[in-house]
Amino acid sequence: MIRIVILVVFIAGGSLLFFTSGKKTEAAINKTAPDSISAQPEVRINITKINDPKWDELLTQYDGFIQQAIDNSLAPGAAVVIVKDSSIVFLKGFGYRNAITKDPVDEHTIFRLGSVSKCFASVLSGMLVQENIFKWDDQVVHYLPRFALKTKEQTQGVSLRHLLSHTTGLPYHAFTNLVEEGNSLDTMVYHLRELDLLGKPGELYSYQNVAYSIIGQVIQSATGKSYEAMMQEKIFTPLHMTRASLNYNAISKEKNMALPHRHAGPGWMANALSTTYYNVGPAGGINASISDMGLFLASLTRDHNPLLDSINGQQIFHPFVKASAKNRHFYSWKRPTSAYYGMGWRIINFKDDVVYYHGGYVNGFRSEIAIHPKDHIAICVLVNSTGPLPDQAIPEFFKKYNQYMLASDKMLSPRPPAP
């Protein structure tokens, strides 16, 4: 059975106190918690060679697509990892992590993942469900007695599944403006009780960052350890994701760190790294290298997933609520027929096909990730600038995959050897 994962990266404690008020200062955000772990030394990644001329052609053509995009200034730099049958078969950096200093991207360059962090949060939650720490349909108030929405009925109706599927009933992006201002999660969660709900929990999709991040507080209450510590213990360390972290302090000290960029005339200008969204870690706070992401995605594509059993894996990818596909460039590959949100992943349906997908944006970084279960393929994109490339990269790979791997043998005849 073929399993493929592709990741493209472009330079682009204690009990809860819901009565905290005011913003966190930058110093408070930057301070690493006692159980925080910074990025560790680089780990060598073994690359597996596929003895198949069709794969050679596919990888060569996709490599060329990414390089041409960089040459055409669609992004200052990129990194790509491809995994097949739980083995990494392609790992390469493109362009610059800093367009001003011309520092190159390599497989260990650290990026911000933005909302692709949500994929990790759902996997970690699934692992804790496996361990009977909690259940998907447990009430949030069971773990956070001071959590409240506008009415008692609404408060008691919100489950962990609702947090992870964006079906709490809260208004779209509730208090995301306060996230960007640097308010503490405790403060923002406390003020959720002031908002009118759009519907009952579980009825409709309404994307969240603050409400989604309550899962981190639930995990802390249920385990006695911070969300960051549990992510390190359950996912980062076992998978040897040594460059991954969940705080500003860790990435800001790194020399091999990508910076976000913006267009400046004909070229790119590097911007400063921001502290935003580390206050909502489960929703958007992970930093990782392309090698880290390859290890994470390789684990998700194994026959015997070391992180999730089949039951909880199915729960995460179950189409729970209708939602938008977000990336309209999928139409260039196939026409989506419907889209849903599971837990931490979008489910995009095509005729006789499905893709699990998520995207993200934070501080000028873009992120895209998808899994194609029918052919056991996955792709992820992280970007250090806005623009068309991250949106195009996933559909473009699938188009090339169809061209080189699913076409007739006549079309896929190997190229003649070089003279």
CA distance 14 to 210: 19
- Segment-wise mean pLDDT, segments of 10 residues, the chain, 419 residues: 46 37 38 50 83 91 94 91 84 92 93 96 97 98 97 96 98 96 97 96 97 98 98 97 96 94 90 96 96 90 86 93 86 90 96 90 90 81 85 89 70 40
Q: Given this model, what pLDDT does residue 257 score?
A: 94
Angle between helices 389-405 and 53-71 (to 10 degrees): 160
Predicted local distance difference test score (pLDDT) of residue 39? 58
In this prediction, residue 41 carries a pLDDT of: 66
C-alpha torsion sign, points 209, 215, 221, 223: negative
pLDDT score at 224 = 98
Q: Which CATH architecture has domain 4-405?
A: 3-Layer(aba) Sandwich (3.40)
Q: 384: closest CA among 277, 230, 272?
A: 272
Locate the domains of the chain by residue range: 4-405
Instruction: For the chain, give percent helix, strand, coil, nearest 5.
Output: 35, 20, 45
Cβ atoms of residues 123 and 116 within 8 Å: no
Q: Residues 383, 10: contact at Cβ < 8 Å?
A: yes
Instruction: Please give the C-alpha separations between residue 235 and each of 183, 230, 299, in angstroms, as whole numbers.
Output: 27, 8, 10
Task: Report long-range pairs for 322-329 (Cβ below 8 Å, ≥24 apart).
Answer: 322/205, 323/166, 323/205, 323/207, 325/357, 326/357, 326/359, 327/357, 327/359, 327/368, 327/391, 327/394, 327/395, 328/391, 329/391, 329/392, 329/394, 329/395
